[in-house]
Each structure stands twice: as structure tokens, then as C-alpha cells.
């Protein structure tokens, strides 16, 4: 009796009190979640095994089994064909040009009427066609917008180039007129900066000749054409060649032409 009591562990001893317990936070909750998942999976497996198949599923299974198996001699129709000389795997018809496999079975399981699937298919095709048409229209609009942007950009670049050529022509005209001691230009805008100085004076003048045109009525291209023509006629000078020629024959034979495009 004493020996048994000595062998028993003292519940007040350090070995019993200092036992380390797993007290990590959340651990009991994780164990409960795992156990609940295991029980749920087992329950689902049991439900699948014990579940009674629906009438449609049973019909589908029987139909699949029947279609997989070839007709045997117990089938009356097949027996009649054999009596007439038909053999399994042979094509139908007197000359053997008929079908070999039976007509496939297409079971309609939905509640829609006959022709509903064709209607749905037609609507889907119309929807697809409308979508393609919208994409085509959108693509054309984007291409048109891009082309218009390119045209505007090119027009702006052409305008900047024309304005630069006009300023060069005005500087050349002013220098060449000065070399010939011409104190007043033929038109105020022939010289660079002179047109701005004379604007106030022109506003003060109320009477003017109706046959004379104003510089504001001319475009940059028209001014450039008039001024380059004056330089070629009066000074035998081409701004694109950058050369003053000796005479008209030298100008006509050595200068490509009176426009910028002729010098490209």
C-alpha cells in the first residue's frame, strides 16, 4: 500500500505544476474549424452516395447505355433486316450506298417550342452582326479623326513654312531695294516690319482708291507669290536658290521654277 502511494505522482509537486501547455492564441479555434470542415465533407460524401437520382438522370443513363450497345438478334427490326440479307456493319440500301451508323438521337430536354433554338441562334447572329457593325463604324470614325488631325497638322506646318518664306522674301526685298536706292517699297508689306509701322497711317486715311487692294485681304500664299514674282522680275533673284542671276535668260535656264515645290 505504501509502495503504491509512493509510486503515485504528487499533484502538488513541481513536475505537475510546471507542465507546459500549448496556449498559442487561436489554436483551439483552428482545430474546431478543421473538425467542422471534416464533418461537412464526410456529410457531403454520404449525401452523394445516398442521394436518389432524379427521373431525368435515370432516363439519361438508360439512354446512354442503350445507345452504346449495338442492336442484337432479339430486336425484331434487326432480325427482319438479317432475314433480308443485312449484315452488321454493312451500309443500307440495295447497292450499299446508304448510311452505316444509325441516325443520331437528339433529345430535347427544354420546355421551349419547336424552332426556339433557331430563333435564339438568329438573334445571337444579329447581335454579333450589330456588334461588328458598331466596331466597324467606330474604327472608321477613329481613322477619319486621325486623318483630319494629320491634315490639320500638315496645314499648320505648311502655313509656318509659308510665313518663313515670306519673311525671307521681305528681308531680301528690303536689302535688294536698298542696293538700288529704292527708299519706298512698292507695297508696305514688301519690306519686313514696315507694314506694321504704316498701319496707323492707313487707318487715319479715309479716302483710298477702290482698285487698290489691301494687304489684309491677301493670304500668306498670295503675298509670297506676288513678292517672289517681284523679286524675280525686278532683281532677278530667287529666294529658294538664294542667288541673284545676271539676266532673265540666266534665271530661266538655271532656276528650277518660281515656287518652292519646283526646288524640291
pLDDT given at position 199: 52
**Would you give the distance in Å from CA 261 to the centre of its chain?**
38
**Residue 45 within a domain:** no
Report the domain count for the chain: 1
Using a 10 angstrom Cβ sphere, with 0-12 exposed, 13-18 middle and 19 or more buried, the burial of residue 154 is: exposed
**Residue 226 within a domain:** yes
**Residue 168 within a domain:** yes
Q: How confident is the model at residue 126 (pLDDT cuts 50, 70, 90)?
A: very high
Residue 246 has pLDDT above 50, yes or no: yes
pLDDT given at position 152: 94
**Residue 92 within a domain:** no
- φ/ψ bin of 105: left (φ > 0), alpha (ψ from -120 to 50), beta (otherwise): beta
pTM for this prediction: 0.46
Bridge partners of 237, per DSSP, are 244
**Residue 177 within a domain:** yes
Q: pLDDT tens across 99-118, in order?
A: 877 777 777 777 778 788 88
Q: pLDDT tens across 164-215, in order?
A: 999 999 999 989 988 988 888 888 888 887 555 555 555 555 445 544 445 5
CA proximity to 236, closest of 222, 249, 221? 249
**Residue 144 within a domain:** yes
pLDDT given at position 11: 53
Residue 138 has pLDDT above 90, yes or no: yes
Domain range spanning residue 141?
132-195+218-262
**Residue 43 within a domain:** no
**Residue 252 within a domain:** yes
Residue 155 has pLDDT above 50, yes or no: yes
- φ/ψ bin of 96: left (φ > 0), alpha (ψ from -120 to 50), beta (otherwise): left
Range scoring the smallest mean pLDDT among 79-93, 155-169, 244-258: 79-93
Q: pLDDT tens across 78-93, in order?
A: 888 788 887 777 887 7
Mean of pLDDT values over 19-42: 70
Amino acid at each position: 500500500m505504501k509502495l503504491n502511494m509512493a509510486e503515485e505522482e504528487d499533484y502538488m509537486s513541481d513536475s505537475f505544476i510546471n507542465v507546459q501547455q500549448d496556449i498559442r492564441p487561436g489554436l483551439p479555434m483552428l482545430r474546431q474549424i478543421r473538425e467542422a470542415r471534416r464533418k461537412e465533407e464526410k456529410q457531403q460524401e454520404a449525401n452523394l452516395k445516398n442521394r436518389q437520382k432524379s427521373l431525368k438522370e435515370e432516363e439519361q443513363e438508360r439512354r446512354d447505355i442503350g445507345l452504346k450497345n449495338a442492336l442484337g438478334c432479339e430486336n425484331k427490326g434487326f432480325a427482319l433486316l438479317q432475314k433480308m440479307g443485312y449484315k452488321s456493319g454493312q451500309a443500307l440500301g440495295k447497292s450499299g450506298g446508304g448510311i452505316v451508323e444509325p441516325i443520331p438521337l437528339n433529345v430535347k430536354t427544354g420546355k421551349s417550342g419547336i424552332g426556339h433554338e433557331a430563333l435564339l441562334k438568329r438573334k445571337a447572329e444579329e447581335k454579333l452582326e450589330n456588334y461588328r457593325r458598331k466596331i466597324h463604324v467606330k474604327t472608321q470614325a477613329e481613322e477619319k479623326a486621325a486623318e483630319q488631325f494629320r491634315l490639320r497638322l500638315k496645314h499648320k506646318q505648311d502655313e509656318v513654312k509659308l510665313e518663313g518664306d515670306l519673311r525671307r522674301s521681305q528681308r531680301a526685298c528690303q536689302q535688294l531695294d536698298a542696293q538700288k536706292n529704292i527708299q519706298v517699297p512698292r507695297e508696305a508689306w514688301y519690306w519686313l516690319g514696315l507694314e506694321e509701322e504704316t498701319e496707323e497711317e492707313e487707318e487715319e486715311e479715309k479716302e483710298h482708291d477702290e482698285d487698290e487692294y489691301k494687304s489684309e485681304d491677301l493670304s500668306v500664299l498670295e503675298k509670297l507669290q506676288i513678292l517672289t514674282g517681284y523679286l524675280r522680275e525686278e532683281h532677278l533673284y530667287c529666294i529658294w536658290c538664294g542667288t541673284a542671276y545676271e539676266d532673265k535668260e540666266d534665271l530661266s535656264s538655271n532656276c528650277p521654277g518660281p515656287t518652292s515645290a519646283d526646288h524640291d
